[in-house]
Copies of this chain bind each other. A is one copy, B any other.
Amino acid sequence: MDSATKDTATRILDAAERLFVEHGFEATSLRTITQQAEVNLAAVNYHFGSKDALFQAVLVRRLAPLNQQCVAELDVLEKSGAPITVEGVLMTFIRPCLALSKDPNRGGAMFVRLLSRTFVENHRLIRDTLPQQYSEFVNRYSKAFSRVLPGLKLEELAWRLHLAFGLMFNAFAGNDVLKIFVKSDIVSARDPDTVVRHMIPFVIAGLTNPATQS
């Protein structure tokens, strides 16, 4: 669908998604959003009610289907009868993220970065409202990983998942700024396939690492 033919609400969502990812929620004004969306300033409050509500709408538009896909992939994996591995469970999360990253009209790619950024920014909308809506996601992955990482104490498992998901969200965010720690031209942190290719073995190594600290 061409940009000009999308309805007003969608145009606002697309522009907001892009701008929130680039500059963050607080630094993005409704005026900038409506200019880029080529709609009237008042349209935001007409369609969404407030800036906070717009942000929530931007998130749930893609988060709900993403959540469903992850759970569906877990269902397939667990009912397949095939042996389940750490990589297998990991890929049920990475594959939907990757599919979104490769969305041909680029909206999905924006969203993966926005989701990552929103998590690291610890925004109140993520902190207060979204967790309870996705308890199924949390429960399913907690169980799935405890099954493929059976040797770990509960606390140790929790820490490894904390670090692993933090790493993956951070990697998907693709911040160029981390390049200052490496030779700047080598790492192209924005190509999702490349990110995932390097991310997977790193995360698996961390998750399956036999060493446990005293």
Contacts and interface: CB of A to CB of B under 8 A. Distances in A.
A178 B160 CA distance: 11
Number of identical monomers bound together in the oligomeric complex = 2
Interface in A180-214: 180-183, 186-187, 189, 197-206, 208-209, 211-213
Contacts of A169: 178
Contacts of A1: none
A56 interface: no
Interface in A106-121: 117, 119-121
B166 A178 contact: yes
Nearest to A116: B120
Interface string A156-188: 111111111111011101011111111100110
A158 B121 CA distance: 25
The SS class assigned to the A binding surface is helix
Contacts of A26: 24, 26-27
Nearest to A186: B158
Contacts of A142: 181-183
B197 A178 contact: no
A163 to B, nearest CB: 5
Interface stretch (A75-83, A94-102, A126-134): A126-134
A8 B26 CA distance: 28
Given A158-B186, A205-B208, 9 more contacts: A120-B120, A121-B121, A142-B183, A155-B186, A157-B182, A161-B182, A162-B181, A166-B171, A166-B175
